[in-house]
């Protein structure tokens, strides 16, 4: 690849500390798999892109124990990761449940396809409605406004990141089940102990393209790491297609 744009050159040249971290993560995963046949089978079944997502989630969390908890749904023609990467490459809006997740993914979005990044709290009321949460209320308002094919979301469905609020995830799933437009991808890894396991089970059974994490672990850093891995992989793949790269900035949602 010659004549790469500065952002792409920067992405290709990962910081040495990051490269060393990934090398050590791979050694740790190999050690874990050597003593756990089930985990070995899970890791062997991952596609290269799914493996990339897993490694970056482990790097973000510092927790190799999540290796067996990552779940990527199948999605026609490939998998959830491939579907999400394609949507991001086409300029999909990235919608998060927290400002922290938005802040963590925004730099990579700017350096790659220029995707718009928004947080549902921008639509949320100042106080949580009775019996609900600000994140759920914000998700409802955001989904009502961000309708694919309209002026607010002209290109395609959003990629949705939920790392904190299971209530927002449940609201999203209810809206889709009621006939609302489905996101291109849901990265659903809410963290905690109340409503988290239930929302993750509901996501797994929803039929939506999704990346999830079983158990109580999750968080803004993990969903952002997964999304950043998809952005980076899609941008590097686009390096061999100059027409894709040249339209990257134009693909950004308004």
- Residue 249 burial (CB count, 10 A): 13
Per the CB < 8 A criterion, the answer to whether 32 and 64 are in contact is yes
| 15 a catalytic residue | no
> Token pair of 6, please?
């500065």
Check residue 76 and give left, alpha or beta (phi > 0: left; psi -120 to 50: alpha): beta
Check residue 93 and give left, alpha or beta (phi > 0: left; psi -120 to 50: alpha): beta
The one catalytic residue in 15, 59, 202, 210 is: 59
Kindly give the pairing relationship between strand 210-213 and strand 185-188: parallel
Residues 6+ apart with CB under 8 A from 171: 136, 139, 140, 143
Scanning the structure block, which residue is given the tokens 């609020």?
165
> Token pair of 204, please?
């797994």
Instruction: Tell me the three state secondary structure of residue 202.
Output: helix
Give me the sheet containing 117-119, strands edge to edge: 70-72, 210-213, 185-188, 159-162, 94-96, 117-119
- What residues are labeled active site? 59
């Amino acid at each position: 690849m010659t004549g790469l744009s500065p952002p792409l050159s920067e992405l290709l040249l990962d910081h040495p500390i990051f490269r060393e971290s990934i090398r050590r993560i791979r050694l740790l995963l190999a050690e874990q798999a050597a003593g756990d046949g089930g985990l070995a089978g899970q890791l062997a079944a991952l596609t290269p892109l799914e493996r990339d997502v897993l490694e970056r989630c482990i790097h973000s969390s510092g927790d190799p124990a999540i290796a067996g908890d990552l779940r990527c749904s199948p999605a026609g023609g490939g998998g959830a990761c491939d579907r999400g990467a394609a949507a991001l490459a086409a300029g999909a809006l990235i919608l998060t449940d927290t400002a922290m997740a938005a802040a963590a993914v925004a730099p990579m979005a700017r350096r790659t396809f220029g995707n718009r990044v928004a947080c549902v709290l921008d639509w949320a009321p100042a106080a949580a409605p009775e019996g609900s949460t600000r994140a759920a209320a914000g998700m409802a308002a955001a989904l009502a406004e961000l309708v694919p094919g309209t002026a607010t979301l002209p290109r395609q469905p959003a990629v949705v990141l939920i790392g904190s609020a299971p209530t927002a995830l449940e609201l999203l799933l209810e809206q889709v089940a009621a006939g609302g437009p489905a996101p291109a991808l849901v990265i659903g890894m809410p963290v905690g102990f109340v409503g988290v396991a239930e929302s993750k089970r509901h996501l797994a059974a929803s039929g939506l393209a999704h990346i999830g994490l079983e158990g109580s672990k999750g968080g803004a850093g993990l969903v952002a790491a997964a999304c950043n891995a998809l952005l980076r992989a899609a941008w590097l793949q686009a390096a061999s297609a100059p027409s894709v790269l040249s339209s990257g900035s134009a693909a950004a949602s308004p």
